[in-house]
Amino acid sequence: MTDRAFAVIRAGALTTVQDLGRYGHAHLGVPRSGALDPPALRLANRLVGNAEGAAALETTLNGCAVRPRCAVTVAVTGAPCPVAVDGRPVAWGAAVRVPAGALLDVGAAVAGVRGYVAFGGGITVEPVLGSRSTDLLSGLGPGPLRDGTVLPLGPATGRAAPLDGVPSGAPPAELVLRIRLGPRDDWFTAAALRTLATRSYRVSSASNRIGLRTEGPPLERAVPDELPSEGMVTGAVQVPPDGRPVVFLADHPTTGGYPVIAVVRQRDLPAAAQATPGTPVRFLPVRRRIPS
């Protein structure tokens, strides 16, 4: 029987297994997790003929290298990067056939942060609570890849989808995050709300899968008290004691005690996943507030 698996030769800075996440468990304290750039994951899976939610690799900044033990169709999307098979350049953003034993090298991102590597048949590690995703906060799912890790692949069941073109994947020069104010915007001064809506921030190098941290003008509190812990959603803009907004991403905690001044629209979060440190960030209110 063909050994449908691949071995990790170079794990990269942070490479994890991700699908579309584990929904419906926040009441148990389990985040959604899943790919930070779901459109890029869906596209990679479509290119190789998988269901859109099949598990793939999410790379960070410097890619990874793997050696399949069987011939397999692969596609790399997300942050644009060089891709090679046994040292020969191949297409990014397209289905590529990789022979058994060949080295697939996904290089460093030339723009953006996170790449997605889909394999025909998907990565079939054991699911936990309905998902194969690595959750860095709770520790659920497989751990981040290490050199020598071997991951199983499922049987290839689909045909690669023909595409006329693939989005470039390059992040915008400025990250514009549309927000709805609330539920705790009344815990901040009017000046703080003006600052959030009119001043520019920058993506901090301390950002990760849990949250996009920002650098810029602090937001002044009107209420000095502390909140009891309350539920958090993906895209929540939480303001810790230093006053700099943090946008919660896929591995965020399900509860928190710092006030949430606003919530980012879900459709803007994939771009946040690709924003490199130093990228300007602008928060754009689109509705007065979220009901408490």
225-251 pLDDT per residue, tens: 889 999 999 999 999 999 999 999 999
Predicted pLDDT at 159 = 74
Q: For the chain, which residues make up each domain, given as ranges?
A: 5-152, 175-287
The mean predicted confidence, pLDDT, of the chain is: 93
Predicted pLDDT at 64 = 98
Residue 208's pLDDT band (boundaries 50, 70, 90)? very high
Q: Is the pLDDT of residue 161 over 70?
A: no
Q: What percent of the chain clears pLDDT 90, i.e. is strictly above it?
A: 86
Task: Please compute the mean of the pLDDT values over residues 99-108 and round it to a whole number.
Answer: 98
* pLDDT, greater one: 187 or 173: 187
Q: Is the pLDDT of residue 164 over 60?
A: no
24-44 pLDDT per residue, tens: 888 888 888 999 999 999 999
Domain at 175-287: CATH code: 2.40.100.10
Predicted pLDDT at 1 = 43
Predicted pLDDT at 204 = 98
Report DSSP letters for the chain, one per residue: ----EEEEEE--SS-EEE-S---S-GGGT------SSHHHHHHHHHHHT--TT--EEEEESS-EEEEESS-EEEEEEES---EEETTEEE-SSS-EEE-TTPPEEE---SSSSEEEEEETT-B-PPPBTTB----TTT--SSPPP-TT-EEEBPPP-S-PPP-S-----PPPSSEEEEEEE-SSGGGB-HHHHHHHHHS-EEE-TT--SSEEEEESPPPPBS--S-PPPEE--TTEEE--TT---EEE-TT--SEESS-EEEEE-GGGHHHHHTPPTT-EEEEEEEES----
Predicted pLDDT at 210 = 96
